[in-house]
Homo-oligomer: A and B are copies of this chain.
Amino acid sequence: MQLTALPVNDCVYIINSRLTKCDTEKPADNIEYNLLYEEWASYSVFYKYQPIGLIRKYFGEKVGLYFAWLGVYTQMLIPAAIVGVIVFLYGCATVDDNIPSMEICDPRNNITMCPLCDRACSYWKLVTACGTARASHLFDNPATVFFSIFMALWAVLFMEHWKRRQMRLNYVWDLTGFGEEEEDHNRAEYEFRVMQKTMRQEHSTPKVKLITVTFAIVFGVILYRISIRAALHMSTYPAARSNIRATVKTTAAIINLIIIIVLDEIYAAIARWLTTLEVPKTDKSFEERLIFKTFILKFVNAFTPIVYLAFFRGRLVGRPGNYLYVVGSYRMEECAHAGCLMELCIQLCITMLGKQLIQNNLFEIGIPKLKKLLRRRKSDLDSKQEEELNKTLQRHEKDHILGPFVGLSPEYMEMIIQFGMVTLFVASFPLAPLFALLNNIIEIRLDAKKFVMELRRPIAAKAKDIGRYSSLFPQAFVISFTSDFIPRLVYQYMYSPDGTMHGFVNHTLSYFNVTDFQKGTDPLQPMHLGYKVDMCRYKDYREPPWSSTPYELSKEFWAVLAARLAFVIVFQNVVMLMSDFVDWLIPDIPKDISLQMHKEKILMVELFMKEEQGKSGLLIFTILLYKYTIYNIKCCRDNLFL
């Protein structure tokens, strides 16, 4: 057997890395560390590919896969960001040609709108919503629909691209088939608890109780937030004039953001507490359950305000004279004239920017630095002594001063939530991919720094799969229900007298006779605009007061609703088909890898054939050498930067 003539570590590594881990005691370690520091954990190399091979060698497969994923995702965001910016620029360029916003801004269209709240608010002129209408065109134009479809296909392409990259990494790193290999040792807490349990004989009830608690917390917080919104809204009542509405919305979005960030931390603690209560059997199952719970809670937390704005806001408001009241006397919020899309957009923008700024800077840089400082103080070493030590210490010894590795789950979760925002709600905010791209360029190096400098090296663990999260339903819903795309189309092709958008604004506004106000809800200052108002307008498709069925939903309402629903069906099924087609078109395993695997299999068969003649040793050697030659020696350097 000639195997010992080869570098044993690498050779055996190929079969199963768990047999011979890349130990810290290797002499090459410090060189690698410096290489990682220079070529990876530095903002100055942001434009370069990451040295994935090296990262995996140093931090293990789990971390390697995470950074590979982040790299692929960031790379794929580049075209999405470019197209997004073009779509946004198209919106900017066409804002002056947009007939509906021109009509709103035209002072000759002297439209008097119904008050936006009971008593305190008065009638207002539609022309004051001019700014909002113009701004909302930036995010609500035909190009957005195209961009939605583009992003849905982009998501599929990204998945495919990642699947292929993962296949390649799995092959090169020899992860194939070793996914479920990790041996699980029972946690001490579990064994202790089992002992207790067998004595007390209570088995399935805690699980049910825990699920109930989880759901109770989630729904409790949703309710709490809705009431917070109500309180916020009530305090801004006297100021709710349409011209300062954008400011109010921005404030609300910032408050929302702060709530999200604070709740995130609370939720993380709750998830940990709940998982501890469950007493999972093994460390792996503990981690899995914790990740699952944290993810669900964080996801709900991040998306609640967005989903509320996109799907529920302004849907069930009632109509003048018969508004819908909840929680006693709180009137459901209406959207600004140009739809809720603008507010959704502000919310997304602030959430994406804010989460990134605050979470990245404060939590990801500040807090670990602070912790390190505190730990250093405790250890009672003065800085000089430490520096001297630094020079003599091996990397693995230095590691012990650093913070412990808390698992990749926070990084992953953050990215999956970002990915969700980019793909699910891109219809309302074409700049989302750009924001995500900018964040990720920083994020990669930030995480790299964190791994290289701030945190102790994690125990190299193998992870094979990164979930697939995607859905077309929210996108279709945002386009058809939150934006004015469908009503515009319906107007143009069904109702417009001349086939243009002229008259659209008038068409979307229903009439209300001010004598029909419920007692005690009519405005306190009816003469606010300087003239007596007999008839005010509101945005809805309802019969006028003079029809035989006043204020009932009109035929136009049902026609628009049918068109909206038809759009959802068409969008969902067409994009699903296109995605399946793309998925089918691109082979899951890259051609060179599948060829390689084929060749190996043939060699393997030969090996077994020659087994009887006792030549196996040489053949196994041949196979290993073959693989080693192709991937680990010949393209050693390339491989590290794969």
Contacts and interface: CB of A to CB of B under 8 A. Distances in A.
A572 B616 CA distance: 56
Interface in A85-118: none
A442 interface: no
Contacts of A566: 565
A617 interface: yes
A605 B568 contact: no
A30 interface: no
Interface stretch (A263-271, A308-316, A329-337, A606-614): A606-614
Nearest to A176: B177
A361 interface: no
Contacts of A181: 598, 601
B620 A1 contact: no
A370 interface: no
A616 B614 CA distance: 9
A612 B554 contact: no
A394 B149 CA distance: 63
Interface stretch (A74-82, A121-129, A422-430, A555-563): A555-563
B611 A620 contact: yes
Contacts of A616: 611, 616-617, 620
Specify the main secondary structure of chain A where it touches its partner: helix
B15 A608 contact: yes
Interface residues of A, number: 37
A16 B605 contact: yes
Interface in A15-30: 15-16, 19
B19 A609 contact: yes
Contacts of A573: 473
A498 interface: no
A379 interface: no
A419 B185 CA distance: 46
A4 interface: yes
A180 interface: yes
Contact of A4 (B1, B559, B612): B612
Given A558-B559, A559-B558, A561-B558, A15 B569 contact: no
A306 B572 CA distance: 24
B558 A562 contact: yes
A529 B611 CA distance: 93
A3 interface: yes
A594 interface: yes
Contacts of A4: 612
Nearest to A471: B573
Nearest to A558: B558
A413 to B, nearest CB: 19
Interface in A518-542: none
Interface string A199-236: 00000000000000000000000000000000000000
A180 B473 CA distance: 37
A294 to B, nearest CB: 19
A594 B180 contact: yes
B565 A598 contact: no
A1 B605 contact: no
Contact of A177 (B601, B608, B617): B601
Residue picked from A555, A572, A605, most chain B C-beta under 10 Å: A555
B620 A3 contact: no
Interface in A558-611: 558-559, 561-562, 565-566, 568-569, 572-573, 594, 598, 601, 605, 608-609, 611
Nearest to A18: B605
A4 B612 CA distance: 9
Contacts of A594: 180
A394 B39 CA distance: 72
A156 B609 CA distance: 42
Given A3-B612, A562-B558, A598 B19 contact: no
A489 to B, nearest CB: 15
Contacts of A612: 1, 3-4
A270 to B, nearest CB: 25
Contact of A558 (B555, B569, B572, B605): B555
A611 B1 contact: yes
Contacts of A3: 611-612
A204 B16 CA distance: 47
A568 B177 CA distance: 41
B473 A605 contact: no
Q: Considering the complex of A and B, which 9 residue pairs feature the smallest CB-CB distances, nearest first?
A: A558-B558, A565-B565, A561-B562, A555-B555, A562-B562, A558-B559, A1-B612, A15-B608, A616-B616
18 contacts: A12-B608, A16-B605, A16-B608, A177-B601, A178-B601, A180-B598, A473-B573, A555-B555, A557-B558, A558-B558, A558-B559, A561-B562, A562-B565, A565-B568, A572-B572, A608-B620, A616-B616, A616-B617
Given A565-B566, A569-B572, A608-B620, 20 more contacts: A1-B612, A3-B612, A4-B612, A16-B608, A19-B605, A177-B601, A178-B601, A180-B594, A180-B598, A181-B598, A554-B555, A557-B558, A558-B558, A558-B561, A558-B562, A561-B562, A565-B565, A611-B620, A614-B617, A616-B620
Interface of A: 1, 3-4, 12, 15-16, 19, 177-178, 180-181, 473, 554-555, 557-559, 561-562, 565-566, 568-569, 572-573, 594, 598, 601, 605, 608-609, 611-612, 614, 616-617, 620
